[in-house]
Amino acid sequence: MRTMDEHTRITLFERLKVQRPNPTTELAFHSPFELLIAVLLSAQSTDVSVNKATKKLFAIANTPESILAMGETFLKQHIRTIGLFNSKAKHIMLTCQTLVDKYQSQVPNNREALESLPGVGRKTANVVLNTAFDQLTMAVDTHIFRVANRLGLAKGKTPRQVEDQLLKSIPKPYLKDAHHWLILHGRYTCKARKPLCNECILNDLCHFTSKEGLG
């Protein structure tokens, strides 16, 4: 696979910027804590299903203290429509207790502290750091992994390899929003099985050729 030159990368992100001037996560949240909980719930689940659950949950409990007061059993009732809700409920309760005990009930804005929270891995930390705190991170999910490799933005066999290369290759003015641009592009255009290549604004820049998408 060829690597994409800087001029092409700038053109690519300028087009994505025009298409979506103010990209953000499709998870509904109103505070860093709500975002953290939503991202923890989103693993192997759709944003739509998470938003349905958190709309009711956050209406009655949207702080570490209020979720702890709710208790794990009651929490499970609110998130039982989400995959892996038992383990997610356990992690959320432990995370809430850690936030109360160590961080004055505030979501920390540094990677080491975030990744020390139960259930929070590198990808979740990257989402929170980028979306809640405007830090220049890149959370590589299945969509971004696919899009980056197809476009030629990053060569990588693992999410971490793709993350490291994207952080180096994406022009800095676009880096804060790049995560959201790429994930939305992968979700709605550069789909896994049937990419909409004929409708893609990046078609002429892309290194990927899909017989299905171009048919």
Residues belonging to the active site: 123, 141
Q: Extract the tokens encoding 199.
A: 């409708």
CB 41 within 8 A of CB 82: yes
> How many whole angstroms separate alpha carbon 4 and alpha carbon 204?
12
Residue 69's Cβ-count burial label (10 Å; 0-12, 13-18, 19+) is: exposed
How far CA 102 is from CA of 95, 114, 122, 153, 172, in Å, comes to 10, 11, 20, 39, 34
* 109: Cβ contacts below 8 Å, ≥ 6 apart: 32, 129, 132, 133, 135
Under DSSP, the state recorded for 203 is G
Two tokens, residue 42: 């989103």
Closest CA to 82 of 38, 117, 124: 38
